[in-house]
Amino acid sequence: MKIIKLNAIDSTNSFLKEMAANSTLENFTVIVTQEQTNGRGQQESTWVSEPHKNLTTSIFTNNLNLETYYQKYLNFAVCLSIFEVLNTKKISNLRIKWPNDIMAENKKICGLLIENTIKGSKINNSIIGIGLNVNQEVFPSYLKNVASLKNLTNINFDLELLLIEIVEKLKEKITILLSKEYGVLETEYLNVLYKKNIPTMFKDSNDVLFMGKIIGISDLGYLEIELEDESIQQFGIKEVSLA
**DSSP E strands, 23-68:** 29-36, 39-40, 46-47, 55-61, 66-67
Q: How far apart are CA 116 and CA 230, in angstroms?
A: 35
d(CA 130, CA 99): 14
- 96 to each of 25, 83, 86, 195, how far by Cα in Å? 30, 7, 11, 9
Please give the pLDDT value at position 43: 47
Helix, strand, coil percent content, the chain, rounded in steps of 5:
30, 35, 35
Predicted confidence (pLDDT) per residue in 117-169, tens digit: 999 999 999 999 999 999 999 998 888 899 999 999 999 999 999 999 999 99
Residue 141 CA from chain centroid, whole number: 23
Counting residues of the chain whose pLDDT is more than 90, the rounded percentage is 86
Domains in the chain and their CATH numbers?
2-191 (3.30.930.10), 200-242 (2.30.30.100)
Which residues lie closer than 8 Å to 136 by C-beta, 6 or more apart?
A: 49, 50, 53, 54, 148, 150
What is the amino acid identity at position 221? G
pTM confidence score: 0.93
